[in-house]
């Protein structure tokens, strides 16, 4: 039985997802004796680590003290922290470019043309997400401003919230805001309320981590990019298992893409000046997976097919038919990543009459079959 220590906090949903992935791997691939002590982000190394006689460690190496302690252990180690304090160690982390792209596309799809990023300078992942989000938005031809909480300003949230509220008032409306994580998303929503700015009509907000408790406690409930934390933990455990067996790990850096955006009220808007097109988009997004066609959309809005398609393309950049298929395929991607449903059931739940229809459309959309997409995302050969 392998003895594995987990230096991962349990205080947030992302870290708990990592732990779930490690446990799932241990159950799938043999018996591990897992030690998980009480540990918080930024803690001193636990005293037991000095005398612990185990086989391997998975750690969120967040400070130099933890880095020195785990390296002194002489055991195989996999790092699951964005701090990347020991570059020589195998490292598994979220794909921050893919996270930023998911947030940007989510907001752009809602017809928004002004954007902002709310970041926190203390964290590498916030800076990486900021760089990618700003670049992606500007590549699409839109403006993007950045508000960053500093180490000093973060100590006085009352003053910081006032400053953020004033900053939000000055932004051209409507504006889409990506917050670096869900706590930041809640802070943006609090500042909007203080500023008297309507959410989501004037400011649409999306966070990261999809922490259900934080998102549902927000007012209004917060949309969020859901990282694949379980896959992060599973991959880290798979790498550690190789190391404990004395095998080489050819690739040190592993980036895990997110599952997708979970939409809640904070970004549930359609910033399109054409009221008929906005209603058509809303109808499509609510009903695409039930098998609707453009004919059903035309029964909802008082337009001819030609008029709808012309105005829809002008406002959204796609035809109504393309939007129906896009919504279905994005939902299919989410189900392939977040569930174990067989492909035929994914097809049924996303409005495709037959699995073959989904496979053809999915390959055209994503470049691979649904089965291969799931394998690639999970690192399965």
User: Helices 305-316 and 275-287: crossing angle, nearest 10°?
Assistant: 90
pLDDT of residue 155: 66
Could you tell me if 244 and 55 are in contact, meaning their C-beta atoms sit under 8 angstroms apart?
Answer: yes
pLDDT of residue 44: 79
The residues of the chain scoring below 50 in pLDDT are 381
pLDDT of residue 377: 75
Provide the whole-model pTM.
0.85
Torsion angles phi and psi, residue 379, rounded to 5:
70, 30
Name the nearest CA neighbour of 105 among 133, 141, 145, 146: 133
- Burial group, residue 334, by CB count within 10 angstroms (0-12, 13-18, 19+): middle
Neighbouring residues of 161: CB distance < 8 A, sequence distance ≥ 6: 187, 190, 191, 194
> Cα separation of 144 and 134, whole Å?
6
CA separation (Å) from 17 to 42, 58, 128? 19, 14, 21
Domains of the chain: 2-94+229-258 (3.40.50.2300), 96-227+261-267 (3.40.50.2300), 275-378 (1.10.10.60)
pLDDT of residue 375: 83
């Amino acid at each position: 039985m392998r003895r594995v220590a987990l230096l991962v906090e349990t205080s947030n949903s992302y870290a708990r997802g990592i732990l779930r992935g490690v446990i799932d791997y241990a159950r799938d691939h043999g018996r591990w004796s897992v030690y998980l002590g009480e540990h918080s982000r930024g803690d001193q190394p636990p005293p037991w680590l000095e005398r612990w006689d185990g086989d391997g460690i998975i750690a969120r190496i967040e400070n130099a003290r933890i880095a020195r302690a785990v390296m002194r252990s002489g055991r195989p180690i996999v790092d699951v922290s964005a701090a990347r304090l020991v570059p020589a160690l195998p490292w598994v982390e979220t794909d921050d470019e893919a996270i930023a792209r998911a947030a940007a596309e989510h907001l752009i799809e809602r017809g928004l043309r002004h954007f902002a990023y709310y970041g926190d300078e203390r964290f590498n992942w916030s800076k990486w997400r900021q760089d990618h989000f700003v670049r992606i938005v500007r590549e699409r031809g839109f403006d993007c401003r950045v508000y960053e909480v500093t180490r000093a300003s973060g100590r006085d949230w009352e003053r910081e919230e006032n400053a953020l509220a004033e900053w939000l008032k000055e932004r051209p409306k409507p504006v889409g805001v990506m917050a670096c994580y869900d706590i930041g998303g809640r802070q943006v929503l609090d500042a909007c309320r203080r500023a008297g700015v309507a959410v989501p009509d004037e400011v649409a907000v999306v966070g990261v981590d999809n922490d259900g408790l934080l998102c549902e406690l927000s007012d209004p409930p917060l949309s969020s990019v859901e990282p694949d934390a379980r896959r992060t933990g599973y991959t880290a455990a798979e790498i550690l298992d190789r190391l404990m067996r004395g095998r080489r790990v050819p690739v040190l850096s592993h980036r895990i893409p997110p599952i997708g955006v979970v939409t809640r009220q904070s970004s549930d808007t359609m910033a399109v000046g054409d009221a008929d097109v906005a209603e058509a988009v809303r109808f499509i997004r609510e009903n695409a997976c039930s098998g609707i066609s453009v004919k059903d959309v035309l029964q909802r809005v008082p337009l001819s097919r030609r008029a709808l398609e012309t105005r829809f393309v002008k406002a959204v950049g796609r035809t109504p038919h393309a939007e129906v298929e896009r919504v279905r395929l994005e939902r299919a991607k989410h189900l392939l990543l977040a569930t174990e449903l067989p492909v035929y059931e994914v097809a049924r739940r996303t409005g495709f009459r037959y699995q073959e229809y989904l496979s053809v459309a999915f390959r055209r959309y994503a470049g691979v079959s649904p089965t291969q997409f799931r394998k690639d995302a999970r690192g399965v050969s």
